[in-house]
Amino acid sequence: MKIAFVGAGSVVFTQGLLADLFAFPELADVHVALHDVDPERLATAEGAARHIADVRGVKPVISGHLDRRAALADADFVVNIVQVGMDAATRTDFAVPARYGLRQTIGDTLGIGGIFRALRTFPVLRGIAEDMAELCPDAHLLNYTNPMAMNVLYLSRIAPRLKVTGLCHSVHWTMHDLSALVDVPFEEVSYLAAGVNHQAWVLRFERAGEDLYPLLDKAIARDPGLLRRVRVDMYRRLGHYPTETSEHSSEYVPWYLRHDSEIERLRLPVGAYLDTIEENAASYERTREALAAGRPLPVEGTLEYAPQIIHSIATGTPRTVYGNVPNHGLIDNLPADSVVEVPCLTDALGVQPTRVGPLPPQCAALNRAYVSVTDLVVRAATDGDPRHIRHAAMTDPATAATLPVERIWDLCDDLVRAHGDLLAPELRETLGH
């Protein structure tokens, strides 16, 4: 079995996935093909992979490739963790909007940051899809790259035969944290969540058939500090808990980042992802230096879905994971051609999404705003229409709450200029007002 990692130079994340993968005895002899365009990062990822295999006591085949096609050839699974433009492009996504007074916390899913992260990722995704169609047409593509919904929707439209599932840990860790809040062991909790990536909703939260939401209400009543979390504020008003952090959640609605008073009340860290960039860079340097000096690295599993899916398909072991997939009737009151996040059965037959039915109407209404932005960004790329970039920004709740329409178009022009060659040629046009 061959597993290709595209963007393996995201070393810290690659390490966690490999630690999980090598923990399965049945996967001890897999071929892990690592690809990155940065030779130093690729070498660091390869060294880390060999170290993790040694610690786990397994002997996989590990190969490093600057040529993506060599990594993909005859792969059974492709794990996509690319970040196009790396830290410099992400800093641009924050710095240019900040000059317009537009605030972001993470900027990787929706909003101006999510729009332009998608637009510079799509050309690479097209290349991956074309290579897979030729070199490994039956492989499963497991995508971790954000913006998740935009990327999976783009792939589903340009390569409808590709077996792609978008993976994110937000549902798992939300339920882990909610279990701690209500003081119920996570292993005893049953749950159902559905919606869109980073804005799904906890529809059921139970233990042995008992609804645990009343225990959450009591926990909030006991601790007024919880009221200063965006997610708790949204839960109290919408009746269902959202599945991403407060920092993320604040960016997908028009109510919070626009207002100084809400930033203070809810302790919102504007520009938080810039700190994460620094932390990731420091983690990478520690890994590189440790490998060069022959020092041991920590080998810790991350409970990510990709290794679980690979193991389930390889062995037939049934599991339920949360995946981002084309809707196709899974959620009744979201568009059929949108990408949704739902529970998926995974076994030897592959990834099989579960039909959820309709979401509560207030939750679906917010999700529809999200998927409208996603649809327009993808259409900008598939139609080669730069006007749709502006239409997406005009439709985005947080952007529209902050800027008048002329400033939105000006901002898009500035970001098109700033990202330059990372965008598809037909989308590099500036349009003015």
Secondary structure (DSSP) of 234-271: HHHHHSS-BSS-HHHHGGGSSSSTT-HHHHHHTT--TT
Q: What's the domain range around 302?
A: 2-166+298-311
Closest CA to 235 of 262, 208, 213: 213
Q: Residue 296: pLDDT above 90? A: no
193-220: average pLDDT:
97
Q: In this structure, is residue 317 part of a structural domain?
A: no
Residues paired with residue 353 on neighbouring β-strands, in sequence order: 344
259-279: average pLDDT:
92
Q: Residue 12: pLDDT above 90? A: no
For 6-20, 42-56, 368-382, which range has the lowest pLDDT when averaged over its residues? 6-20
pLDDT of residue 58: 94
Whole-number Å distance between alpha carbons of 330 and 358: 8
Closest CA to 299 of 51, 102, 64, 10: 51
Whole-number Å distance between alpha carbons of 88 and 84: 10
On average, the pLDDT of the chain sits at: 95
The two beta strands, 350-353 and 199-207, are unpaired
- Sequence-ordered list of residues with C-beta below 8 angstroms from that of 28, at least 6 positions apart, any chain: 22, 56, 58, 59, 60
Q: In this structure, is residue 54 part of a structural domain?
A: yes
pLDDT of residue 285: 87
For 149-158, 276-285, 377-386, which range has the lowest pLDDT when averaged over its residues? 276-285
Summarize pLDDT for 131-183 with one digit per residue, the tens.
999 999 999 999 999 999 999 999 999 999 999 999 999 999 999 999 999 99
Q: Compare 296 and 221 and report the one with higher pLDDT.
A: 221
Helices (H), 294-404: 305-315, 361-383, 387-395, 397-402
- Find the catalytic residue in 169, 176, 240, 391: 169
pLDDT of residue 293: 81
Whole-number Å distance between alpha carbons of 68 and 37: 8
Q: Residue 310: pLDDT above 70? A: yes
169 three-state secondary structure: coil
Q: Residue 433: pLDDT above 70? A: no
CATH number for position 105: 3.40.50.720
Q: Compare 165 and 432 and report the one with higher pLDDT.
A: 165
Amino acid at 291: L
For 167-171, 215-219, 232-236, 285-289, which range has the lowest pLDDT when averaged over its residues? 285-289
Amino acid at 73: A
The number of domains in the chain is: 1
Instruction: Assess contact for 74 and 61: CB atoms under 8 A.
Output: no
Instruction: Assess contact for 138 and 74: CB atoms under 8 A.
Output: no
- Write out the H or E segment, with its range, that includes residue 350: strand 350-353
Q: In this structure, is residue 39 part of a structural domain?
A: yes
Closest CA to 165 of 17, 341, 3, 336: 341
Summarize pLDDT for 320-364 with one digit per residue, the tens.
999 999 999 999 999 999 999 999 999 999 999 999 999 999 999
Please work out, in degrees rounded to the nearest 5, the angle formed at the alpha carbon of residue 120 by the alpha carbons of 119 and 122: 65
Q: In this structure, is residue 12 part of a structural domain?
A: yes
Q: In this structure, is residue 68 part of a structural domain?
A: yes
DSSP state of 5: E
What share of the chain has pLDDT > 90, as a percent? 88
- Sequence-ordered list of residues with C-beta below 8 angstroms from that of 383, at least 6 positions apart, any chain: none
Closest CA to 233 of 215, 213, 256: 256
Residues paired with residue 2 on neighbouring β-strands, in sequence order: 31
The torsion angle over the Cα atoms of residues 292, 36, 324 and 394, rounded to 10 degrees, is: 110
pLDDT band with cut points at 50, 70 and 90 for residue 120: very high
Q: In this structure, is residue 247 part of a structural domain?
A: no
Phi, psi dihedrals of residue 39, rounded to the nearest 5°:
-60, -40
Q: Residue 10: pLDDT above 90? A: no
Q: In this structure, is residue 156 part of a structural domain?
A: yes
Q: In this structure, is residue 237 part of a structural domain?
A: no
pLDDT of residue 294: 82
Active site residue 391: no
pLDDT of residue 413: 97
Question: What is the pTM (predicted TM-score) of this model?
Answer: 0.96
The two beta strands, 319-326 and 163-167, are antiparallel
Q: Which residue matches tokens 């979201």?
A: 334
